[in-house]
A and B are shown apart, each in its own frame.
Chain A
Amino acid sequence: MTAHKRRAPVPTPETAEFWAGTKKGELRLQRCTACAHVYFPARPFCPACASRDVAWFTASGKGTLYSYVINERPAPGFTAPYSIAVVALDEGPRMMTNIVECPQTPEALVLDMPVEIVFEQLDDTIALPLFRPVVR
């Protein structure tokens, strides 16, 4: 977004599959085979029942805007004002993100509006999942 780059994530063994997915334009989540709980962020066991029997799947990338702030202060890679948002995914989990491709104003950022995923390539290894309003 500006000259200085965002602080990029560094994947760990537990999250590598998630970041491999975003690089291919997929939002990969995990579902517990034992109790069917869908969760985020990635880990090789279910946070609801502690089973290690969990499986990756590709999520829809659809959700709704759950809450946000519009930050007015500087951060690496951002030009204020910009939204820092939490999206409720259709599959259940919530995740932090930025809402892009719309004005960064309270009028444009309406709670519970439908959003869909887009991916921003930060560098050769990381694509960051962002969300934009669904245009009806």
Chain B
Amino acid sequence: MVQHRSVAVVGAAETTGLGIIPGMSQIMLHADAALNAMADCGLKPSDIDGVATAGESPVAIAHYLGITPTWTDGTSVGGCSFMLHVRHAAAAIESGLCKTVLITHGESGKSRVGAGGWGGGSPASLQGQFETPYGIAGPPSIFTIPVLRYLKTYGIPIEKLANVAVVQREWAAKNPRATMKDPITVADVLASRMIAYPFRLLMCCLVTDGGGALILTGAERAKDFPRKPVYILGTGESSETPLISQMDDFNASRAFRVSGAKAFAEAGIAHADVDHLMIYDAFAHLPLYGLEALGFCKPGEAADYIWERNTAPGGNLPLNTNGGGLSYMHSGMYGMYALQESVRQMRGIAPAQVPGAKISVCHGVGGMFAASGTVIFTNEPA
């Protein structure tokens, strides 16, 4: 296990622009964010000796930026890959494999400049044989499949699923960089265009362009950097299945539960210690599955918890304070933006800053419930 607070985020930044960026290809979005993160902490490419990324190869990113790494990590398990990169980087730094790690994300999700595509797997893969032939057409028609079962199991009305998007829009309204800021109501969500029943447009994430980068190093060096260090307190990761039809239970994510429990155990914290929470929200049901799997709510109670405004501005557990994938931005692999918001909150510079926040939990999902990663940050040194 990585020692508490032995590794810190010292540099963090998103791309200069966010939303629609037709003038940058995918690899340049990685690079723009990386250059901004290096400027944030006063480092040059020659100061970086570890590179981790997903979407592009770490070899391509290192070469593009002029970095000669002694450690690379190309873990690519979907949108939570960056949570896993943080976890792996912390272990690598602590064990001396490298000193300073750059983690990058960039995705031309909207403009599709130099972008890869979602393929549904080769026709001989398990997904290609046993799911793709049934007309799955990207995440809105896959990630959503368990939800009718979940709603029936717990007797949750559709209004309470729609409300997740409403509350997150309240947070987005406080964020000048959020793509969607105008207030919405449950009625607005339920009147928006049907995408894949029971999911309507406003229950689905945005599709935008952008990127983000993090720079991590040992805590003993962290105080030499210009920004307030944000320490890694605990991390977790897990995976379940590449086939959503083969999840253990449509009412809960095993990967969420295992990753979250591991991170909380490593951090040695209780739920009451958490000041700020990010749960990757590609679709409106994910905060529900996340709150329950992480242990903030009992099974089936998360929709009421959000309905009762516990996670809304002014609530006791601020959740997805950047507006989330539903309203802030979503390039395709959103995990990096959740991490960026946790770092901003721990630095005390978030647009919707949680006053006095000391511990932030950042929980990611990858590949339609296939994988999960959790990072727990603190701004209090050892």
Contacts and interface: CB of A to CB of B under 8 A. Distances in A.
A6 B145 contact: no
Contact of B148 (A9, A12, A68, A81): A68
Contact of A84 (B123, B130, B135, B149): B135
B130 A96 contact: yes
B250 interface: yes
B128 A10 contact: yes
A97 B134 contact: yes
B141 A8 contact: no
A94 B250 CA distance: 11
A94 B129 contact: no
A71 B137 contact: yes
Contacts of A119: none
A103 interface: no
Interface in B145-171: 145-149, 152
A106 interface: yes
Given A6-B135, A8-B133, A111-B152, A71 B128 contact: no
Query: Chain B: interface secondary structure?
Result: mixed
B197 A84 contact: no
A109 to B, nearest CB: 9
B126 interface: yes
B195 interface: yes
A contact residues, range? 35 or more
Given A10-B124, A67-B250, A84 B129 contact: no
B130 A95 contact: yes
Given A6-B135, A128-B133, A41 B243 contact: yes
A40 B144 CA distance: 21
A40 to B, nearest CB: 8
B97 interface: no
B95 interface: no
A125 B327 CA distance: 46
Contacts of B132: 7, 9
A72 interface: yes
B245 A96 contact: yes
A96 to B, nearest CB: 4
Contact of B195 (A73, A82, A96): A73
Interface string A42-71: 000000000000000000000000111111
Interface of B: 120, 122-124, 126, 128-138, 140-142, 144-149, 152, 193-199, 243-246, 250
27 contacts: A7-B132, A8-B123, A9-B123, A10-B123, A10-B129, A11-B129, A12-B129, A15-B129, A41-B243, A67-B146, A67-B148, A68-B148, A69-B141, A69-B147, A69-B148, A70-B194, A72-B197, A73-B195, A74-B137, A75-B136, A75-B141, A77-B135, A82-B135, A84-B145, A84-B196, A106-B197, A111-B148
Interface of A: 6-12, 15, 40-41, 66-78, 81-82, 84-86, 94-98, 106, 111, 122, 128
